[in-house]
Structure 1
Amino acid sequence: MKSTVVIVFLFIMFQGFSQDFKKHQWKNRVLIVSTIDDTSSDFLKQIDLLKNLNQELKERKLIIYQIVNDKYKVGFSSNFNSSNSISKKYVNTKKGLQIILIGLDGGVKLKQNYVLTAEKLFAIIDGMPMRKRELRKNK
């Protein structure tokens, strides 16, 4: 399992940062957590909240992108990667903390500027038609 995560992460690094996150379309949902200050209390609180939800994130095919100015990381790795191609379509870090949820279809499902609770995140995802189909199929 750990080797799969490492392989996926390395693949993402070598592919470069997809400007529109299209590479995840129909495979994964994406949660973008962006800020201009990676030491801000809201950003740290949001990342802390998500770190403890590995199983729930995996079940919902949810990948986390942390974006700080022109740096990003996928998941909760310790190192940021530089990127000059951060998507301006999805990310506006001038507002401080920004949370964006992108569905399997590539559409923006949620956009907010304050900490997103696990309950709200999972309620939104679990209410999506494709997620409902996944749950029915897995029963």
Structure 2
Amino acid sequence: METYRIIFNLLFIMALQGPGAAGQPAPHQPSNAGDVLAPYRWSNRLLLIFSEDTNITDYQRQVSILQSDQMGMADRDLVFFRIFPDEGYTPDNDALTPAQVTALRERFDVGTGFTVILIGKDGGEKRTERKPLTLDQLYGTIDAMPMRQNEMKQNP
């Protein structure tokens, strides 16, 4: 379990630093132009973070909030995508194709500005906000979900 936590923390930090971090080459682009969220269904909850760029205060605040409780995110199987007007990144820090970015923006009807969207393990949209979600708001929404209730009973 400790190895899992170390690996998760390293991946989380790399994702926050962006492509090319720590001297690593920029990540490869996924070849699947289809539903980029599908591989996460039934295994992860997703937070889609849409922003004009990384310098937007709301974006920086949301990332800081998420970074402050990596263990809580791991416990809830929560990972996040970062999506900008012309680029985006998966939770594994793989670059999204322009077609995938466009498809996500159209699918969730995201215009300009900052938006966060919580997606449940079932692939359904659970919450949408135009301001950063606090951990209380985020975890409150997740912990009220029936699937999460079952997870907490199985792994107290």
| TM-score (structure 1 length as normaliser) | 0.82
Aligned to 2:97: 83
Count of paired positions: 133
Aligned to 1:48: 64
Q: Please tell me whether residue 92 in structure 1 is matched to residue 110 in structure 2.
A: yes
Check the 8 A contact 2:50/2:116 in 1, yes or no. Answer: yes
Aligned to 1:36: 52
Give identity over the alignment, percent.
24
SS of match in other structure, 1:57: helix
Rounded to whole Å, the distance in 1 between the matches of 2:64 and 2:91 is 12
Structure 2: give runs of 5+ residues left out of the alignment.
16-27
Check the 8 A contact 1:27/1:104 in 2, yes or no. Answer: yes
Rounded to whole Å, the distance in 2 between the matches of 1:131 and 1:111 is 19
Rounded to whole Å, the distance in 2 between the matches of 1:28 and 1:132 is 15
Rounded to whole Å, the distance in 2 between the matches of 1:56 and 1:15 is 31
Rounded to whole Å, the distance in 2 between the matches of 1:28 and 1:51 is 17
- Please give the root-mean-square deviation of Cα atoms over the aligned residues, in Å: 2.7
User: When you count strand as a share of all residues, which structure comes out higher?
Assistant: 1
Q: Matches of residues 104-115 of structure 1 in structure 2 within 5 Å?
A: 104-115=121-132
2:74 corresponds to which of 34, 58, 65: 58
Rounded to whole Å, the distance in 1 between the matches of 2:43 and 2:31 is 16
1:101 corresponds to which of 92, 95, 118: 118
2:37 corresponds to which of 6, 11, 21: 21
Structure 1: give runs of 5+ residues left out of the alignment.
none
1:131 corresponds to which of 139, 143, 148: 148
Rounded to whole Å, the distance in 2 between the matches of 1:132 and 1:39 is 36
Check the 8 A contact 2:30/2:95 in 1, yes or no. Answer: no
Q: CA deviation at 1:37?
A: 2.5
Structure whose alpha-carbon radius of gyration is higher = 2
